Amino acid sequence: MLISLQLESAEEFLTRVTSAIGHAQSHIYVDTSFAMWLTVIGPASRAAFIDWSSTVEGRVHIPAWTIQEYYRHHQSKTLKTEIDNQSVATVKAAEDFRSRLRLLADGPLLPGQPEASFLNRLRSIQDELHELVVAAKRWNYDDASAEVIDWMNRRALGASGIFGSFDRLREIGHTRYTHEVPPGYEDRDKLLNRYGDLLFWQDVVADARRRKAAKVIVLTRDRKEDWYASAPEPEVGPALRRLRSRWEPVPSPHPMLTFEMKTQSGCELILLDDLYLGAILWRADRVRYGRFAAIAVGMDAQKLSQELAPPPPVHVRAMARQAEDRISAREALNLVRSALDEAPDQKIGDILTALEGDAPVAEAAVERLTPDWIGVQVGGQLACFCRRIYAMASPAQPFATQAAQRLLEGIDQVDAAHASAVVGGMLTSAFYDNDTQHHRPGGALLQETYAWSIDPGCERVLRALTGRLNSVQAAALVLPDNVTTPLSVRLNTSDSVATMPPALGQLFVGAQGVLTDQALGDETRLRTLLAERTEATVGEIVEAVGRYYGVPLAVLRVVDTADDETRTILETTGLERFGPLRQPTRGNVSMPANVQNAEQMPVPSDNEADQDELDDEDDLSDAEEEE
């Protein structure tokens, strides 16, 4: 793309550049402005950057003119001199301010305080400022520059053609600058280093051609128009706004730079500054690269500590939604119907295909699934997408699993409509196989999805899904609208078999006994679920049974027995099968006097209509009016 007709969002740019950095044929070139900035930042931040550069070892290069210009500044101690000059100017400005206000402060400037208070406070601030200036002047430039020089020396280009271009440099540079051909034409009036940008650029173009690079990334802090195409300040989503309230325009190369790189070296050009590199590394690994990312995006130390603190537990995050952030009954029903009936559109289909592709393509697809991405999707398509992602997630599909987990992790950062689409879509997949409902909800991420289902904003979609399941006589032990209700678990020992430890006779989930004396095949055999062990603890048995029936493990409450007690598992002990004609008893119904007859208790009606889950009559009326 040369002259862009469409603005690229900050999020799209970050995703594209992240993918480019990971490309084996991408090469990164560092200019002098970035190297100088790298010298000024603190040692921990610099170490984080150098650590990152080691992950792309062999693909980060320092052109000859970067070395030349850095050496020139190093010899003249430019950075140290600038700090010293700024320190002197700051102290003088404070002294001038105090001197100018001395007469004015003869009167009472601070209400309710003595006349001398203003000058006394100003003097105190001036003294503190002086101490800070002295501390700043003690900055150890020698150590910082030595670290950067060592890093650059190990990545300096092994060959350069700029020495052969000096004879015609003035002629070529003048011609380019006269026609405002980038880079560097804004330096046309400089006496020193007038053609420095051009020499740097010639090195990059030639080296990229020699390496047959696919993509060239130039790390620079130079934001002049002889490098960048003009662009407005971007509107960013909540995840980026959390890092920084205002963002510089997305780095976009001057069209002629893009054209020259493409025609002379056959590769794509990307400009990347410290701000957007910081955002990329923050998204990649905020713990490992957080110090660099923080200084790059302007995050102070206190906020960095808060951001790096362990996140609150899922149940705390899921319950934090504001009371007014809810969806309507009609919206909930439509999400469930979309999850079941809609086909994915082209964009969603491309992501699903990418997740089954090669690692770089799949990783890029996963990276796209940020809270910002979730927040701009159409609800029905998002529910449809989440149903399919959930079904794909498994040990054999690691990228689909990562994608589903990433979607769940974004729930508390989006509104109730999009959170409901994610949870509703995934639970629809857990309870349905195509149009046929599962008698036991399943899926590799079932428990994680249950954990987020306590979000109050998802309540109506859970009730809508439950209504749909009731209409088809679903046989699950727990339906979606009860995934947060505590459920008692009781274990009885066998009366007919004497063993040590005691043999397990029956296990009740709520009021429903789930064990049989004779397993119907290996799938329902309890020992099979416990890796053929003949003994297991109560906790292990309850977890195995809970996972088998797709029950939220977090709501199970074992009563009258300790988790660490051990039970013998008999050879033939199996698990009950439930179906439309053999419905389980759900919930904590009072236990009958004869627990052996618990299965004979009345079963709730299972002929409820699609919308019977909506207890709120006003909501139902609204839904009918909309229809």
Check whether 508 has a pLDDT greater than 90.
yes
Which helix (DSSP H) or strand (DSSP E) does residue 511 occupy?
none
Q: How far apart are CA 50 and CA 55, in angstroms?
A: 9
Check whether 29 has a pLDDT greater than 50.
yes
pLDDT score at 52: 97
Q: Any residues with CB less than 8 A from the CB of 426 and at least 6 apart, and which?
A: 386, 387, 389, 390, 404, 407, 408, 443, 445, 449
pLDDT score at 82: 92
pLDDT score at 532: 93
- Count of beta carbons in the 10 Å neighbourhood of residue 524: 18
Q: Is 6 exposed, middle or buried (0-12, 13-18, 19+ CB in 10 A)?
A: exposed
Q: Is 62 exposed, middle or buried (0-12, 13-18, 19+ CB in 10 A)?
A: buried
Q: Any residues with CB less than 8 A from the CB of 605 and at least 6 apart, and which?
A: none
Q: How far apart are CA 575 and CA 121, in angstroms?
A: 79
Predicted confidence band of residue 589 (pLDDT cuts 50, 70, 90): low
Check whether 426 has a pLDDT greater than 60.
yes
**Beta carbons of 509 and 545 less than 8 angstroms apart:** yes
Q: How far apart are CA 30 and CA 7, in angstroms?
A: 26
pLDDT score at 165: 83
pLDDT score at 12: 87
Check whether 591 has a pLDDT greater than 50.
no
Q: What is the mean pLDDT of residues 292-299?
A: 95
pLDDT tens digits along 385-396 = 999 999 999 988
Choose among 623, 65, 15: nearest CA to 369: 15
Higher-confidence position of 470 and 624: 470
pLDDT tens digits along 76-99 = 999 999 999 999 899 899 888 888
Q: Return the structure tokens found at 519.
A: 């397993």
pLDDT score at 616: 45
Check whether 610 has a pLDDT greater than 60.
no
Q: How many Å is the Cα radius of gyration of the chain?
A: 33
pLDDT tens digits along 214-267 = 999 999 998 888 888 878 888 887 778 888 888 999 999 999 999 999 999 999
Q: How far apart are the first and last CA of the chain?
A: 46
pLDDT tens digits along 106-144 = 677 777 777 778 888 888 988 999 899 999 888 999 999
pLDDT score at 1: 53
**Beta carbons of 519 and 512 less than 8 angstroms apart:** no
- Count of beta carbons in the 10 Å neighbourhood of residue 359: 10
pLDDT score at 563: 92
Which helix (DSSP H) or strand (DSSP E) does residue 395 occupy?
none
User: 273 in the Ramachandran plot: left (φ > 0), alpha (ψ -120 to 50) or beta?
Assistant: beta
Predicted confidence band of residue 606 (pLDDT cuts 50, 70, 90): very low
> Is the entire prediction scored with pTM above 0.75?
no
DSSP state for residue 229 in the 8-state scheme: -
pLDDT score at 412: 94
Choose among 239, 470, 459: nearest CA to 328: 459
Q: How far apart are CA 421 and CA 377, in angstroms?
A: 10
Q: Return the structure tokens found at 461.
A: 């979609």
pLDDT score at 559: 93
CA 401 to chain centre: 14
Look up tokens 């080296």; give the residue.
207
Q: Any residues with CB less than 8 A from the CB of 459 and at least 6 apart, and which?
A: 326, 481
Look up tokens 């208790």; give the residue.
601
* Domain definitions of the chain by residue range: 10-63+157-306, 89-139, 316-474, 487-600
> What pairing do the DSSP bridges indicate for beta strands 215-219 and 26-30?
parallel
Q: How far apart are CA 347 and CA 367, in angstroms?
A: 15
Which amino acid, residue 401? Answer: T
pLDDT score at 9: 86
pLDDT score at 199: 93
Q: How far apart are CA 163 and CA 7, in angstroms?
A: 39
**Beta carbons of 293 and 282 less than 8 angstroms apart:** yes
pLDDT score at 590: 53
